[in-house]
Structure 1
Amino acid sequence: MSVFRVPDMHCDGCVRSVTGAVRDLDEKATVQADLQTRQVRVETTASDEAVAAAIREAGFTVEG
């Protein structure tokens, strides 16, 4: 499982957008987002780079 910090994820709408972006990449991905820590945990067959790129393309910053 990979962990991504998404500092500009502020609400449930953001969580839905991030989750949708990851699932567009891999529909079987498991996505767990924590708004307090602004961390997204992703279990997928896609590479970390591809997941980070998908999150960025959805309009969010990815740190780390």
Structure 2
Amino acid sequence: DFDAAGVRAAIKLSQGGQIIYPQFLEIVMRAGCTHYEVFITGKQVIYFGRKGEFHIEKFPTAK
């Protein structure tokens, strides 16, 4: 099953520099993510589960 909280946790770990990309992929796959799409101009990433579930993550804003 898709676990949006697990996907969000992986994103936070990655953004914080606590994990590298292969680890990120492993965590989001364990959270049920089958694929994701990056929309550069839309400034967001959509993570998808196998039953049509999804999580939208907006790009972080500059500080």
* Band the TM-score falls in, shorter-chain normalisation: 0.3 to 0.5
Q: Structure with the greater relative contact order (CA < 8 A, sep ≥ 6): 1 or 2? A: 1
Q: Tell me which structure has the larger Cα radius of gyration.
A: 2
Q: Which has a greater percent of strand? A: 2
